[in-house]
Amino acid sequence: MVTVAVTGAGGTIGRALTPRLRTHHTVVGIDRPEFDILARPEGLPAILRDCEVVVHLAFDPGGDGAPTEHWRRPTRNPANTALFDAVLGAALTAGVGLFLHASSIHVEDTMAWAQRGDAPLLTARPGVFATETPSGYGRSKRAQEARLQAVGHRFGRGAVSMRFGGVTPDDAPLSTGDGPAVLDHERRVWLAHDDLGELVSAVVRTRSAPGFDAVYAVSDNPRRFHDVSNAYGWTPRSRG
């Protein structure tokens, strides 16, 4: 079994992913209050020392005096840059083989793209984007991808930014609480828990070379506007 460390294991994505990873791998969950990455970054390399893979999901949405970071807000929370830098540095120090990064579909302006009737599918090309993203969240994820691309050669099995779509606690597309345009968008970018687990497992199983890659992660939704082509044999099966 491969040992996989998951930061942010107690978050929405972490709670969906970790039980699915545990069917084939040993999972080391990292989250507060048991371990606070920003309070004790010097202790993280020791935790990662025996891990072949890191899946970095940890995210701070802000609030309580910190800037809010959300795909519909222009602000960024500097805690997320600090989290990313701490985990990336610790993974390099510990000699982790494969670094998987929770990026997002919001590296692009997906609301604008969804409203273009003639738009082609968005493709995951590292460092190349079709839109200007208006959100601080999207810009933060772009910056993290660029940082990871610059050091991907230092990981024996490389680094992959997985541009996740909408993962929900109830494993269903968002259907209430917002306007028709947003709800239509959310149905088209939904990512089912099983598809999430199968993608991460496929990358862990097949990725073998240094370097960097990015892949869009959305389910087989009607009117999907992301190209989910990838080098890992993953095909989404769930349909929103």
Q: Encoding tokens for residue 156?
A: 């024996």
Other C-beta atoms within 10 Å of 95: how many?
15
Amino acid 45: pLDDT: 98
Q: Could you tell me the CA-to-CA distances from 114 to 121, 142, 229 in Å, in that order? A: 10, 20, 19
Question: What is the model's pLDDT at position 130?
Answer: 95
Each residue of 17-52: b (16+ CB within 10 Å) or e?
bbebbeeebebbbbbeeeeebeeebeebbebbeebb
Residue 28 has pLDDT above 80, yes or no: yes
Q: pLDDT at position 157, please?
A: 98
User: Does the CA dihedral 169-172-173-179 come out positive or negative?
Assistant: negative
- Whether CATH 3.40.50.720 fits 3-217: yes
**CB-hemisphere CA count at 13 Å for 228?**
21
Instruction: Using the predicted structure, report yes or no on whether residue 148 has a pLDDT greater than 90.
Output: yes
Query: How far apart (Å, rounded) are the C-alpha atoms in residues 100 and 108?
Result: 20
Is 6 a residue whose pLDDT tops 80?
yes
Beta bridge partners of 215: 162
pLDDT at 240 over 80: no
Phi then psi for 223, rounded to 5 degrees? 60, 30
Give me the pLDDT at residue 117, please. 77
For residue range 32-48, what is the model confidence (pLDDT) as tens digits? 999 999 999 999 999 99
Nearest to 224 by CA among 125, 100, 123, 104: 123
At 117, which amino acid appears? G
- Listed in sequence order, the residues at least 6 apart from 177 whose beta carbon sits closer than 8 Å to its beta carbon are none
Average pLDDT score over the chain:
95
Domain range summary for the chain, segments of one domain joined by +: 3-217
Q: End-to-end CA distance of the chain, in Å?
A: 32
Banded model confidence at residue 115, pLDDT cuts 50, 70, 90: confident
pLDDT for residue 227 is more than 90: yes
**Structure confidence at residue 16 (pLDDT):** 98
The pLDDT-based confidence of 225 (bands split at 50, 70, 90) is very high
pTM: 0.96
pLDDT at 194: 97
pLDDT of 52 above 80:
yes
Instruction: Look at residue 152 in the predicted model and tell me its pLDDT.
Output: 98
